[in-house]
């Protein structure tokens, strides 16, 4: 067996090594998910440490939700891995490249128009990915998320949104890719430096324009009205010299009842975005529940025996929202955003440098069915996605560990601002609203969680008590 492997052509060794590593990663992920599913199945009672902050009903809802998500992830992951394996074994990549060449040939463009053929290939590949992923996305949204009360979309809205996302993605992806390929073609021996600088500029531009020009294509952004919350946010930003210019509320509730908050912008033009589902006073779920409760009171007044609906409060009150923002601003004040950008760009430069070293190796192309040509786009795909996969897995784990460290530091920053108790109660509320499960397998958590588990964060806040 060892002798047979040793005598195998180098391109075959590369191909099967890529395939074996891909399945090794999948089996490792499946093992971790299995460990976590056992936690979901076995934890049916609120742990003693959580007795004061979580009831049995909430734990059970969270447990069932996470079980459904985990089972879905297993089957969708298995399908994705099987699909990728079949594409490689059946020569799907060179086949699609050939189809792309046929399309460009019909337009009067020969093999010398490699960039045009690359753009057709990219369009077909992303279209194939979107279509094969659509049934899984529909099931996740309209079965799992719907079953557990998170989905707020209609099927028509969902499909319209999917088409819009695909079109916007192509409008960005195709010009950027064509310019990148052109730079690599004409860049000479130091093309990797120019390619890296180009991707750096593109990433900075996209981060700058995303919330102002791209995100509003999908969601409605409105300025946070004047009032106590806005005034407190501005005071908090001023106290740490955060150059805040605007505060927006995004209508995330039309898609999902999950909540979020973030800030964006460079230099002296920072902006904060709050999801309406994060704000107790803005959440549509609260308004609906209150209306149902009032209806129940009217029925009682009329002598009807129908019980009053229980009003479920979603989101955080103003002090808790300020605590959450204190955490987010801590990321900025402690330089986490800049550090992540630096790490990302160092990684990007290293990858382009190694790409420059490897792009001339014909056996890499031969391994994946390209015997007569070495297209630059295919080289990018092979090297970045397949050859770098072990490095990518290691980097991803290291970044996950670093992210958890940053989260603890940001919590500590919010605590230093005197908001420990408010952050404590906000974390509990957000965990309940999003049906987060408070108990995690240590190995699953270590490998996957970019944020520390709830219990670890509560302990680190120093025993602050919920009001």
Specify the DSSP class assigned to residue 15: H
HSE-up (13 A, CA, CB side) for residue 104: 22
Find the DSSP H helices in 187-307.
191-209, 228-239, 284-301
Contacts of 134 (CB under 8 A, 6+ apart): 162
HEC sequence for 303-335:
CCCCCCCCCCCCCECHHHHHHHHHHHHHHHHCC
Specify the DSSP class assigned to residue 372: S
Q: How many CB atoms lie within 10 A of CB 185?
A: 12
Distance CA 60, CA 62 (A): 5
| Residue in 78, 76, 69 with CA at minimum distance from that of residue 37 | 69
Which residues sit opposite 271 in a β-bridge?
246, 264
Contacts of 417 (CB under 8 A, 6+ apart): 236, 239, 326
HSE-up (13 A, CA, CB side) for residue 195: 26
- Catalytically active residues are 328
Distance CA 185, CA 178 (A): 11
- In degrees and rounded to multiples of 5, residue 247 shows phi and psi of -125, 125
HSE-up (13 A, CA, CB side) for residue 407: 18
In terms of C-beta density within 10 A (0-12 exposed, 13-18 middle, 19 or more buried), how is residue 90 classed? exposed
């Amino acid at each position: 067996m060892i002798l047979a492997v040793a005598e195998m052509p180098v391109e075959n060794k590369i191909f099967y090594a890529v395939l074996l590593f891909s399945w090794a990663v999948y089996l490792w992920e499946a093992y971790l998910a299995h460990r976590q599913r056992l936690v979901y199945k076995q934890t049916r009672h609120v742990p003693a440490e959580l007795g004061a902050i979580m009831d049995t009903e909430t734990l059970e809802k969270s447990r069932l939700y996470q079980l459904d998500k985990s089972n879905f992830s297993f089957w969708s992951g298995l399908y994705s891995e099987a699909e990728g394996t079949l594409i490689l074994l059946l020569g799907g990549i060179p086949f699609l490249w050939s189809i792309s060449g046929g399309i460009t040939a019909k337009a009067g463009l020969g093999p010398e128009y490699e960039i045009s053929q690359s753009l057709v290939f990219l369009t077909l590949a992303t279209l194939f990915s979107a279509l094969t992923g659509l049934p899984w996305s529909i099931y996740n949204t309209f079965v799992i998320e719907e079953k557990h009360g998170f989905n707020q979309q209609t099927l028509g809205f969902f499909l319209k949104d999917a088409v819009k996302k695909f079109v916007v993605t192509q409008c960005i992806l195709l010009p950027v890719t064509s310019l990148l390929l052109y730079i690599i073609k004409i860049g000479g021996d130091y093309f990797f430096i120019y390619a890296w600088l180009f991707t750096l500029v593109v990433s900075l531009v996209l981060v700058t324009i995303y919330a102002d020009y791209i995100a509003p294509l999908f969601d409605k952004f409105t300025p946070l009205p004047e009032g106590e919350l806005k005034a407190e946010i501005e005071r908090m930003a001023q106290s740490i010299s955060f150059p805040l210019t605007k505060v927006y509320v995004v209508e995330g509730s039309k898609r999902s009842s999950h909540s979020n908050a973030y800030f964006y912008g460079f230099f002296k033009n920072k902006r904060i975005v709050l999801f309406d589902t994060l704000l107790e006073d803005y959440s549509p779920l609260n308004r609906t529940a209150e209306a149902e409760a009032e209806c129940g009171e009217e029925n009682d007044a009329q002598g009807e025996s129908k019980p009053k609906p229980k009003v479920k409060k979603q989101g955080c009150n103003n002090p808790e929202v300020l605590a959450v923002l204190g955490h987010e601003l801590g990321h900025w004040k402690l330089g986490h955003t800049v550090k992540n950008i630096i790490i990302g760009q160092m990684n990007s430069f290293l990858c382009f440098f190694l790409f420059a070293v490897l792009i001339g190796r014909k056996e890499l192309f031969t391994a994946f069915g390209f015997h007569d040509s070495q297209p630059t786009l295919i080289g990018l795909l092979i090297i970045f996605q397949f050859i770098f996969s072990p490095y990518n897995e290691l980097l991803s784990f290291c970044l996950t560990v670093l992210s958890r460290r940053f989260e603890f530091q940001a919590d500590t920053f919010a605590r230093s601002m005197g908001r420990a108790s408010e952050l404590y109660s906000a974390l509990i509320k957000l965990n309940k609203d999003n049906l987060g499960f408070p108990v995690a397998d240590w190995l699953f958590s270590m490998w996957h969680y970019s944020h520390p588990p709830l219990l670890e964060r509560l302990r680190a806040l120093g025993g602050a008590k919920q009001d």
